[in-house]
Amino acid sequence: MIKLLHVEDDADIREIADMALSLSGEFDVVQCETGEAALAYVENYTPDVVLLDMMMPGMTGRQTLEKMREKPEFATVPAIFMTARAQHAEIDELLQIGAADVISKPFDPISLGDQIKEAMQKAGMTAAA
């Protein structure tokens, strides 16, 4: 099972993502409503992959990742962003700070799991290289 931490402030989107990721039965999903709650949760939990919404009240997805990266065990955990503002410049910026992928909203729930696994694979290859 792939341990996935999903940080998203919109409850409906959390539910849809949870259902979508449960389709393949390959993901063990933990969901947090805010960046702050996610940071508190990871004190005792290290996921295999983090799925972060960009725009959230309080800490943004980017700020949350930066805080997580301060923990040594998070140094190589692939992070995938979800954003409704999928513009070239923003995507490039997120990829440059180490994002494994950037998924645009609205996303396709059927292929979401595959998209995450693909990004993890790519990030793993990059880390190995």
Partner 1 sequence: MRPVYFKGDTAFSAALGCGLAAGWYGAASAVFPEAAGGIIPAAGAIGIAGFLPVVLGTRPFGQKAPEAARSHSNMLKQLQALDMHAGINMVSNEGILSEVNDHLLALTGYDRKELIGQHVKMLYDEVSQSQTCDIRNFLEQGSTWQGETHLRRKDGSTLVTQATIIPIFDKKGNWAGSISARTDVTETSKLQAERHSAQTLNELRDDIWIIDAQTEKFSYLNGSAKERLKLVNEEYLEKDLGDFNLASEIESVLKACRALRASGDVTTQFEAELVGTPMYVSIKYLPDPRGAGRYLIVSTDISHRLEQEQRKSAFISTVSHELRSPLTSIKGAMGLLLSGSAGELPDKALALLEIAHRNADRLILIINDILDMDKISNGQMEFDISDVDLVELLKEADRANAMLQQRFGVVVTLSGADKPVFLKTDPNRFIQVLTNLMSNAYKFSPPNGRIVLDIADAGEHVRVSVKDEGQGIPLAEQGKIFDRFADMTNSDRAAMGGTGLGLSICKAIVENLGGTIGFDTKEGVGTTFFFNLPKNEPASNAVDDVDVKRIA
Residues that bind partner 1 in the complex, under the rule CB under 8 A: 10, 12-13, 16-17, 19-20, 23, 55, 84-85, 87-89, 92, 105-110
Residue 12: CB minimum distance to partner 1, A: 4
Nearest Cα to Cα of residue 42 among 81, 97, 100, 3: 3
Of the candidates 24, 74, 67, the residue with the CA atom closest to the CA atom of residue 50:
74
Residue 41 CB, shortest distance to partner 1, in Å, is 23
Using CA atoms, how far apart are residues 25 and 9, in angstroms rounded to an integer? 24
CA distance 100 to 107: 16
| Residue (89 or 125) nearer to partner 1, CB | 89
Nearer of residues 109 and 124 to partner 1, judged by Cβ: 109
What's the closest the beta carbon of residue 21 comes to partner 1, in angstroms? 11
